[in-house]
Amino acid sequence: MAAEVIMPKLGMSMVEGTVLRWRKQVGEQIAKGEVVVEISSEKIEMEVEASADGKLLAITVAEGEAVPYGTVLGYIGQDGEKIEAAPAAVAEPAKEQAATPPVTSEQATPATSAPAARGSHVKISPVAKKMAEEAGLSLDSLTGTGPQGRITKEDVEKALENRAAVAGEPPASGAGAPSAAGADALFDPGAVESSQVVGMRKVIAARMLDSLRQSAQLTMTAKADVTELLLWQQQLASELQKRQEGKLTLTDFIARAVVLSLKKHKQMNSAYLTDGAEARIETYGHVHLGIAVALEKGLVVPVIRYAERLSLLDLSKALKALSERARSQQLTGEEMKGSTFTISNLGQFGVEYFTPILNPPETGILGVGAVEAVPVYRGEELQRRSLLPLSLTFDHRVLDGAPAAQFLAGVKESLENPYSLLL
């Protein structure tokens, strides 16, 4: 793995730094401790030293460009590392920064300091873009040497040459992103059913990929002891039957528990919105709860509006009505928009924990697994308890681990003290 040259943080208030001058050129040998690049913040100038011996493999930030601190400016390593290290590492700092919780309390906003993902805003010339697409090169793996880091035809040609040099294939054979079949004579897939990605599948594909690319999501898990809740559910069932009302399902209770915890931890009832280079976090007063429902063609997420105004019983009715409408495909587009938090339940399939993907631009999604009866020590005594696995995915750009954990603890607490769900 090649060593990174990183834009250091010079002082508390520094948001970004400018590359003044590269002392070394790509290909030049560098000894550990030697000055590689000169940088400056608004206040001071500084020399950045190499953290390892090797060659300067790539310069990712050109002279005169300003970038947030922590951004990788270049890579130092050995010749062989060139191809593997450089492209992989380019995408990495964003991930690392997002996933590492801030260590110091003065750390202001990890969100703004993470280098912007290149995604759809890559500066690239039209012909370079077509060449890269045809060759199946990810734009994120390319280093632009044009004005303001624009990727030029020459940059793509160089990347292709490098790839060819590694793979031992001639550079001209840009066969595009190979389909699995055809690329490899040893690959015998049997009968292949190929269907074009269209309609709902296409929308889901795009949204999910977008979600993973454009937010800093991570998942934490917890078990809720629902032994009492299940007992209570049975008692209620007979009472409800007398009143000719439908049964309350576990999902109903969970939905109510989530609403209660969201009211307490408003940070989770929010969205991270970007508008060009500007970003803002909106925190919402009302809870519009999305419930993921699996259909044959794919997933839909109908929304229960103003869920915080509904009692447990009303919530249950609303949920039933929506799920039925979803299964009979009667949902309108309006009914699937505007949620502020989502619940996804895979318990019926025996799934335990999983990593739900955020429904953008929401901040949180709760994954619910299957209840399992396990022996648990309560004091010194082993008891049969029913445990419910919960998986909370949240956007680290909006909030940090501790507040997210508090929200999850809130859900757990309500489920473990079921009477609170009535309040």
Answer for which of 43, 120, 126, 192 binds other proteins (CB under 8 A) is 126
Q: What is the largest CA-CA distance in the chain?
A: 83
- Evaluate whether 236 touches 332 at the Cβ level (below 8 Å): no
Question: According to DSSP H, which parts of 217-285 are helical?
Answer: 227-242, 250-264
The two three-digit tokens of residue 149, written as one number: 């880091």
Residue 253 binds other proteins, judged by CB under 8 A? no
Residue 153 binds other proteins, judged by CB under 8 A? yes
Q: Say if residue 297 is exposed, middle or buried (CB neighbours under 10 Å; 0-12, 13-18, 19+).
A: exposed
Residue 297 binds other proteins, judged by CB under 8 A? no
Residue 21 binds other proteins, judged by CB under 8 A? yes
Residue 22 binds other proteins, judged by CB under 8 A? yes
Contact letters for other proteins, residues 61-100 (x by CB under 8 A) = --x-------------------------------------
Give 367's strand partners.
Answer: 344, 391
User: φ, ψ for residue 294 (rounded to 5)?
Assistant: -85, 125
Residue 130 binds other proteins, judged by CB under 8 A? yes
Judged by beta carbon, residue 127 or residue 382, the one nearer other proteins is 127
Q: Which of these segments, 9-17, 119-127, 204-212, 266-274, binds other proteins (CB under 8 A)? A: 119-127
- Strand, helix or coil for residue 5: strand
Q: Compute the least distance from the CB of residue 56 to other proteins, in Å.
A: 12
Closest Cα partner for 145 from 47, 63, 22, 55? 63
Residue 177 binds other proteins, judged by CB under 8 A? no
Q: Compute the least distance from the CB of residue 54 to other proteins, in Å.
A: 20
Residue 212 binds other proteins, judged by CB under 8 A? no
Residue 173 binds other proteins, judged by CB under 8 A? no
Judged by beta carbon, residue 102 or residue 174, the one nearer other proteins is 174
Residue 60 binds other proteins, judged by CB under 8 A? no
Residue 47 binds other proteins, judged by CB under 8 A? no
Residue 152 binds other proteins, judged by CB under 8 A? yes
- Evaluate whether 270 touches 340 at the Cβ level (below 8 Å): yes
The residues annotated as belonging to the active site are: 396, 400
Judged by beta carbon, residue 21 or residue 337, the one nearer other proteins is 21
Number of residues that bind other proteins (CB under 8 A): 13
Q: Which of these segments, 122-130, 204-212, 388-396, 400-408, binds other proteins (CB under 8 A)? A: 122-130
> Would you tell me how many other CB atoms lie within 10 Å of the CB of residue 276?
6
Rounded Cα distance between 20 and 40, Å, is 7
Judged by beta carbon, residue 126 or residue 170, the one nearer other proteins is 126
Rounded Cα distance between 237 and 172, Å, is 70
Residue with tokens 């030697």: 34
Judged by beta carbon, residue 21 or residue 95, the one nearer other proteins is 21
Residue 128 binds other proteins, judged by CB under 8 A? yes
Contacts of 385 (CB under 8 A, 6+ apart): 225, 227, 373, 374, 375, 376, 378
Q: Compute the least distance from the CB of residue 178 to other proteins, in Å.
A: 18
Q: Compute the least distance from the CB of residue 130 to other proteins, in Å.
A: 5
Rounded Cα distance between 352 and 417, Å, is 22
Instruction: Write the CA distances from 271 to 76, 235, 282, integer angstroms.
Output: 38, 39, 5
- Evaluate whether 152 touches 131 at the Cβ level (below 8 Å): no
Dihedral sign computed on CA atoms, order 117, 215, 138, 198: negative
Residue 295 binds other proteins, judged by CB under 8 A? no
Residue 131 binds other proteins, judged by CB under 8 A? yes
Answer for which of 18, 40, 51, 125 binds other proteins (CB under 8 A) is 125
- Evaluate whether 395 touches 215 at the Cβ level (below 8 Å): yes
Residue 18 binds other proteins, judged by CB under 8 A? no
Binding site for other proteins (CB under 8 A): 21-22, 25, 63, 125-128, 130-131, 134, 152-153
